[in-house]
Structure formats: C-alpha cells, structure tokens
Amino acid sequence: MSTIFGQIVDGEIPARVVYEDETTFAFLDANPLAPGHTLVIPKDEYERLNDVPEDVAADLYATIHRVIPAVEEAVDADATTVAFNNGEAAGQEVPHVHCHVVPRFEGDGGGPIHAIAGETPDLDDDELDEIADEIADRT
C-alpha cells in the first residue's frame, strides 16, 4: 500500500505541486505551519533518511536547495526552518521521507530547533567523549 505521499506523486490525490523532477517532488503542506510550508520528498518511498540511497539523497538535497529561496521569496519570509522528522519517535507521521520547509517571520512565535527536545540532558565531558567515539566508530 502506497503512503499518502506516494499517492500524491502518482496523481491519485491532488496537491499544490511547486516542483518536480525525475526523482523528487515538492508540494505545499495540506496542514501548513505557515504560509508557503512546503514538503520535499523523494518520489520513491523510503521510510527513513538512512534508507535513502546516496544518489537519491543528493537529488533530494539539490531540490531542497532549490526550493528554499523560492519559498522565502514567494511569501516574503525572513527565514526558514528546514527539518526532517526521522522515525515515529521523532514525530514522523507519514512513513515516507519528507523535508519540511517552513517559512519563518520575525515575531512569529516559533522557536529554534532546540526547542523541540523539551528538557536537555546534562552530559559531562566523559559522556560527550564516549558518545562522540561511538558515533565516529559507526561512520
């Protein structure tokens, strides 16, 4: 069964498409957080960012890079928040990789990306070193 985003790509569900190429697709979010809130997706369905092949990831970033200034200019935004929710625990509601390009305006009441985490952990230098080593060992 295709996700709602796959159905949009296939033309089964209407959307306000703002960009499309061979591998990527961008359209206005049906439940926008701000005027111009745009979703950028790979046409093929991948549930998480780590599932996206490198060539498709490069195409996805190129589309994001293209869409951001277009969105900002179209709605006269002061900036944008650009984010992925990677997995259900992170708030991903549709299991199809999608990037949110959310226009931001001076005084809009929104916070920085750090505001999403709630309470921040208190980590000492040894814990930070251990985490950094664990990540480095896996990259």
Residues with a catalytic annotation lie at 98
Q: Following CA atoms 126, 132, 137, 139 in sequence, which dihedral angle do they give, to the nearest 10 degrees?
A: 180
